Structure 1
Amino acid sequence: MRRTPHLSTPPPFRLTALLAATACALTACAWGGDQNAKDVRPPTAPRGVTVQAGSATTAHVMWNQATDDTEVTGYDVYRGATRVKRVPGGKHMVDVVGLKPSTEYTFTVRARDAAGNVGPAGKKLTVTTPAAAAADREPPSRPGAARGTAEGARAVTLSWGASTDDQGVASYEIYQGTSKIHSVGRGERTTLITGLRPGTSYSFTVKARDAADNFSPASRAVRLTTKADSGGKDGASGAAGTAPAGFHAATHRADGAYYIDLSWTPPHTGGAVSEYQIHLDGRTATSLVFGGTAPRGKATHSFYVGKEPGAAHRVKLRAKLPDGTWGAYSPERAVTTGRSS
């Protein structure tokens, strides 16, 4: 007579473990696994990318901080389709060397996170290096006295006198102590330095650079101390020097609807400001991002507010600074649809 095999029942704790292991395999859970394996969302494209020829063989690339659902751990800088620099996530500028004089180059920047996700490229920018000066060993003269003002807790404004050079100044390099932190074109005499720490004393100097990579002696150092408090919320510096200047608002009517027209002068950051935040009637209304070349002089923008005449509105805006934080708001302006301002 054939006997039926005896099937033993697993103890409760073994059954629980078996069910849990099965569920884990089916749902791909990761006990103690690498949490970055789940991160498939790439960072955003860096905004506010600027590029400046530093000399006949160098270019200085800067950008605003990108964002990510976890953390941006680095940036890749491309010349055309070739990656030429890789920098850590806390750095938002780099010098690209080894270029050819009188040559046009295109640069882009991409952000990456800890999981290896690489975001889309920021705005493509083209720069042409100046011609090389034959046998130029003469450095530019020392820049005129540097001056500065603390702009709240995390920024300072610097200005200096012009340098002269037998072949022409190509750029000005700004140093914090012995470290280069910024570069601006030969036509600039003022710049905004952001990303500083509250309540901290800093020493800044400026050097002029010519197309042959000759550097001038450093300017006289200027020492500035940032304010102790944050001066604002949501990452805003709260400093008046970081606010758009000459802000004006008016309204016009077109095709049966009303629009608010804005005009302003961007804050002096040593580069183009490509992103702004518009605040309407006590709340954030929209972000404005300039495509192509962002205006360095007077900027304008117009946006729809409705079809009702006699509607009162309050509007102001602020700029996104090179370190990725928001600057101070412009003065608030009041406008009424259907009335001249």
Structure 2
Amino acid sequence: MGLVGLVALTACTAPDTEPPPAPTGLTAQAGSATSVHVMWDAPADRAGVTRHQVFEGGRLVRELPAEKTMVDITGLAPKTGYSFTVRAEDAAGNLSGAGPAALVTTPEAKAEDRTAPTAPAATTARATGPRSARLSWEPSTDDTGVTAYDVYQGGVRIHTAGAGEKETTLTGLRPDTVYTFTVRARDGADNSSPDGPAVDVGTPPASGDGPPTAPADLTATASPRTVTLTWTAPDTGRATTEYELYVNGRPTTVIQFGAGAVPAGRVEHRLTVAEPTGTEWSVKLRARLPDGNWGAFSAERRITLVA
């Protein structure tokens, strides 16, 4: 059989010339006489953005992957004014507009200073929405003056506030998630204080953001010298290998499942107990999420131990 009327069809796709939206919430804080911390808000939807470009006075100074929304610019001059802007770039090479510039002046260089500021005190935090939290602290003191306050989460600096600030709003958080934050003060010589008090805050769930992060349907059953816990693992997109158990409001143990032994769906774990008969326990647990944060707590269950 012959082939008649064979026609080659070629799909034509119009080139992508639409730039991504400009980054918002740009701020710049002098970290020392020769460095500035620049940060901006994470977009609600990063789809299409492949990197960010940071400019000083129209000169490109840093390029960062899309997930990075803060950077330290070093090698600057003391007592000098700087103007920073940030642009987003997509996979087709389209650049966004720059948005409003962030202006900052570096402080005067000090004589050699090795004395760190005192630690911020009385840290508090409260969720202001599914993706944001408000953090506050009591100011630190320093022999040459505090220049900035750095916020850390899991040992990583995620935010910087100015010297005169006693509170700040953290954005780009994950709904239905527990975060632990600490604050350090920094002076003009880049000496950092010890951590202030750690503070936990849980963001509320948000509709349309997928399944909740809390373990579901927790049960607790007491038998002689044993407590059996069962629950349904949260749907995080990956196998959950680690849970933290609280007994009577305090963290008691971390339950870990090794490679090849990670349960899917319904999970069971047995605890050996030595407390006497009649001891009351109130138990709850939470899962370690793929991003390293703890998810929300399960419902709490009360049991009476049996010797």
With the length of structure 1 as denominator, give the TM-score of the two structures: 0.57
The 3 A distance-change label for structure 1 pair 99 and 207 is same
- 2:55 alignment counterpart: 78
- 1:212 alignment counterpart: 189
Match of 2:131 among 122, 136, 154: 154
Match of 1:43 among 5, 20, 37: 20
Where 2:122 maps in the other structure, the secondary structure is coil
Match of 2:83 among 79, 95, 106: 106
Match of 1:185 among 162, 181, 187: 162
Aligned-pair Cα RMSD in Å? 2.3
Q: Give, in angstroms, the shift of residue 179 of structure 1.
A: 0.7
Match of 1:94 among 50, 71, 77: 71
- Matched length: 208
Where 1:148 maps in the other structure, the secondary structure is strand
Q: Give, in angstroms, the shift of residue 193 of structure 1.
A: 1.1
CA distance in 2, matches of 1:118, 1:102: 32
Q: Give, in angstroms, the shift of residue 184 of structure 1.
A: 0.7
- The answer to whether the 8 Å contact 2:41/2:172 transfers is no
Match of 1:144 among 111, 114, 121: 121
Matches within 5 A, 1:297-336: none
Where 1:160 maps in the other structure, the secondary structure is strand
Where 1:141 maps in the other structure, the secondary structure is coil
Q: Which amino acid aligns with 1:215?
A: S
Match of 2:175 among 151, 173, 198: 198
Q: Give, in angstroms, the shift of residue 204 of structure 1.
A: 0.5
CA distance in 2, matches of 1:179, 1:219: 14
The 3 A distance-change label for structure 1 pair 67 and 201 is closer
- 1:169 alignment counterpart: 146
CA distance in 2, matches of 1:197, 1:69: 14
CA distance in 2, matches of 1:150, 1:68: 21
Q: Give, in angstroms, the shift of residue 62 of structure 1.
A: 1.9
- 2:236 alignment counterpart: none
Per residue, is there more strand in 1 or in 2?
2
- The answer to whether the 8 Å contact 1:52/1:59 transfers is yes
The 3 A distance-change label for structure 1 pair 198 and 45 is closer
Q: Give, in angstroms, the shift of residue 126 of structure 1.
A: 2.0
Q: Give, in angstroms, the shift of residue 183 of structure 1.
A: 0.5
- 2:6 alignment counterpart: 16
- The answer to whether the 8 Å contact 1:74/1:86 transfers is yes
The 3 A distance-change label for structure 1 pair 44 and 188 is same
CA distance in 2, matches of 1:204, 1:64: 18
Where 1:53 maps in the other structure, the secondary structure is strand
Where 1:184 maps in the other structure, the secondary structure is strand
- The answer to whether the 8 Å contact 1:141/1:217 transfers is yes
Where 2:6 maps in the other structure, the secondary structure is helix
- The answer to whether the 8 Å contact 1:52/1:127 transfers is yes
Q: Give, in angstroms, the shift of residue 44 of structure 1.
A: 2.2
CA distance in 1, matches of 2:173, 2:44: 19
CA distance in 2, matches of 1:133, 1:59: 16
Q: Which amino acid aligns with 2:124?
A: R
Per residue, is there more helix in 1 or in 2?
1
Q: Give, in angstroms, the shift of residue 225 of structure 1.
A: 1.8
With the length of structure 2 as denominator, give the TM-score of the two structures: 0.63
Percent of pairs identical after alignment? 49
CA distance in 1, matches of 2:129, 2:100: 30
CA distance in 2, matches of 1:70, 1:217: 38
Where 1:180 maps in the other structure, the secondary structure is strand
CA distance in 2, matches of 1:151, 1:64: 16
Q: Which amino acid aligns with 1:97?
A: T
Q: Give, in angstroms, the shift of residue 86 of structure 1.
A: 1.2
